Amino acid sequence: MWRKASAAALLALAVGYFYHGGPELPEQILQYINLPNFQTSSQNSGNSLEQVISAAWETLITLPTRQWSRVAVGVNACVDVVVSGVGLLQALAVDPGTGLDHEVLHSKEDLREAFIHFMERGAAAERFFSDSEAFQRIARAAAEYPGAKLYVGGNAALIGQKLATYPDLMVLLCGPVGPKLHEMLDEQIVVPPESMQETDEYHLILEYKAGEQWGSTQAPQANRFIFSHDLSNGEMSSLETFVASLDEFEPDLVILSGLHMMEGQGRELWEERLKEAVLAISDIRKDIPIHLELASMTDKDYMNSIMQEVMPIVSSIGLNEQELLFLSQAGEGPHSDLDSWKGIPDVGQVSDILFWILEQHGRSEPSSEADLTRIHFHTLAYHILATVDGYWGNQAAAVMAGARVASSQACGLQSVDVGKVELKAPLEFYSSHTEPREKLSLNPAAPVTVWRRGNVVFHMTAVLVCKQPLRTVGLGDAISAEGLVYSELKTQQPF
């Protein structure tokens, strides 16, 4: 018993030292108190790095002292039809060929080209399908395809579902909720009557596996391509209803998603609607933190407008590697000359972009009027939480909690099975791609590496990547939701 207790105390101590010192300190502590280093003992006992990391997560991930009690989530919600992408396209009598990205899909051919374009990169993407009749035909074929499954869909609904797994948390979901979706939602989720509609919005999720082949295209990793003809979500028609419902619900956290859905409606609509969205968001009480969940976009002007107008009035954002790079390209930020990431995104380059966002559009300086103080970045192999010092607590646990749920949920499990996952994160990396930069390392026994740049603190942890993922849809939403559950907003004065 005492050995387990010592190990638990040691791991907690190691993370504390990690926070204030360098990645080499935990080993020094271990040597000082004459207990074996987990990394060394794992090699001697045959424990894998995956086992060491998973065990460390279980010890170190603890809920914050002050937890959220009421969370309001909006505004995109739908029913997802999940189907084999290659299988469905073959059933639609579409032949493989070369890939080509399309900002908006107008036909089956556009769908084929865009699907191949992203499949050969192993990248997630989401597009609007403009032709209502053609979309309905494809949707019917998808629903009838052998093995097709129906799930709760839309970032807001998925985040709400994840939050509802915590019994002490009351969740309000506002969005276009039809009868099928309402039936599928967790009983704990409150849906305002004004949010209900007579018909459901359907999104088609074309999944592919790592190594899956179609013609000359082979997927380097498992992922999915999403498309829809969804006008309710596309116009964010529930946003004003959502904001109006907050006075009665009195949340202590607001989570907003769905801005990406407006992109496919054309510039004239999104320009006007974005102004209305900013006014609506500005009506939310200033003492309530707002998290914005981003998703795949292709219009640089639209992304730039979100960056300039929306990001400064939210407290936190969540995004993946495609969204991060596109955001930098839209704003001509660091590494915006990259066309795409080559393999696992470089930690230093990611750190540069995160720092730039908080500098340009966040509150990295006391004189700034922006509210943005937190970014939760996730990619397949690792996650980073970048926060302005003094605003957020429990971020080491939060970033590990997000990684843990990515590892378990991708495998379709409630907990991590170390036999079904693998470590792909770099064990050594740099804090920046440019000078001055610090060489850092990941210690599996205390798997959070912490570094600073000015007033911004970075927490990075590895993900134990599922070798044979069962479902990739909604993983980013689960990661962000879990990270927020384990986060604590500080009340003391920053800096």
Which positions are annotated as active-site residues? 477
Rounded CA-CA distance 402/159 in Å is: 13
CB-count exposure of residue 483 (10 Å: 0-12, 13-18, 19+): buried
CA distances from residue 182 to 148, 173, 190, 196 in whole angstroms, order as listed: 20, 10, 10, 8
Tell me which residue of 73, 25, 98 sits closest to 291, measured CA to CA. Answer: 73
| CA dihedral of 226, 231, 236, 242, whole degrees rounded to 10 | -100
Nearest CA-CA partner of 8 in 443, 445, 403, 487: 445
The DSSP secondary structure of 145-181, one letter per residue, reads STT-EEEEESHHHHHHHHHTTSTT-EEEEES-B-HHH
Residue 207 structure tokens: 């999944």
Contact 235, 269 (CB under 8 A): yes
Taking the C-alpha atoms of residue 138 and residue 144, their distance in angstroms, rounded to an integer, is 10
Rounded Cα gap, residues 468 and 454, in angstroms: 40
Q: Which two tokens stand for residue 307?
A: 């960056």
How many angstroms separate the CA atoms of 281 and 278, rounded?
A: 5
Distance in angstroms (rounded) separating the CA atoms of residues 404 and 217 = 31
Q: How far is CA 97 from the centre of its chain?
A: 31
The answer to whether the CB of 217 falls within 8 A of the CB of 122 is no
If residue 72 lies in a helix (H) or strand (E), which one and from where to where? strand 70-74
Q: Within 36-178, where are the H helices?
A: 38-45, 49-60, 85-91, 108-119, 132-144, 155-163
Q: For the chain, what percentages of helix, strand and coil (3-state, to nearest 5) are there?
A: 40, 20, 40
Q: Indicate the SS3 state at residue 132.
A: helix
> How far, rounded to the nearest angstrom, does the alpha carbon of residue 141 sit from its chain's CA centroid?
30
Tokens of residue 293, six digits: 């969940």
Spatial CA neighbour of 78 closest among 184, 189, 152, 139: 152
Alpha helices in 226-340 (DSSP H): 231-234, 239-249, 267-282, 300-305, 321-330
